[in-house]
Structure 1
Amino acid sequence: MAGRNGDGMEGMQLAEDQIKVLEENFTKVTKHPDEATLMLIAAECGLSEQETAKWFRLRNAQWRQSEGLPAEQGSVKD
């Protein structure tokens, strides 16, 4: 993870309940939220859409790495 330069999830300073909402949406709803879904998730956990999108980007990279896939989304569809 890219935690040293402050660009990783560690630098986002999220509360436990925010992380819980984000994780639930990630695992149960979608790993790739569209704009409307992103807006709803952001509103639900009190984050901006940009912060929420960033969290999903980072979380996706983390998930892909744990699955042994390239960190960036390529031709393999998850």
Structure 2
Amino acid sequence: MECMNLSEDQLKVLEENFKVGRFPDGTSLMLIAAECGLSEEETRKWFSLRNAQWRQAEGLPAGRGKVYD
């Protein structure tokens, strides 16, 4: 996510955690943020943007929700 101006190390940690779970709980989010040196809000925003990017790549609607026929 180039719009957030993150280092390669931060992106690596975020992407590794994204592979583990696309929607981290509060405790996980706090730990990921601390490891990256980001605020919880910045980390939450990254996951939100990354989820929208993933959904678009999968041909799904960008918003979180159910997929209907």
Q: Same fold (TM over 0.5)?
A: yes
Give yes or no for the alignment of 1:61 onto 2:49.
no
Instruction: Write the distance in 2 (CA, Å) between the matches of 1:52 and 1:59.
Output: 10
Q: Which amino acid aligns with 1:25?
A: N
Q: Which structure would you say has the larger RCO, counting Cα contacts within 8 Å and 6 or more residues apart?
A: 2
The answer for the alignment partner of 2:5 in structure 1 is 13
The answer for the alignment partner of 1:25 in structure 2 is 17
3-state DSSP of counterpart to 1:72: coil
Q: How much is the aligned-residue C-alpha RMSD, in angstroms?
A: 0.9
Give yes or no for the alignment of 1:36 onto 2:27.
yes
Deviation digits for residues 10-61 of structure 1, max 9, x if unmatched? 221100000000000001x210011111000001111000000000000000
**Structure 2 residues without counterparts, runs of 5 or longer:** none
Superposition deviation, residue 75 in structure 1: 1.4
The answer for the alignment partner of 1:50 in structure 2 is 41
Normalising by structure 1, what TM-score? 0.81
Normalising by structure 2, what TM-score? 0.91
Runs of 4+ in 1 over 6 A off after TM superposition: none
Instruction: Write the distance in 2 (CA, Å) between the matches of 1:52 and 1:34.
Output: 12
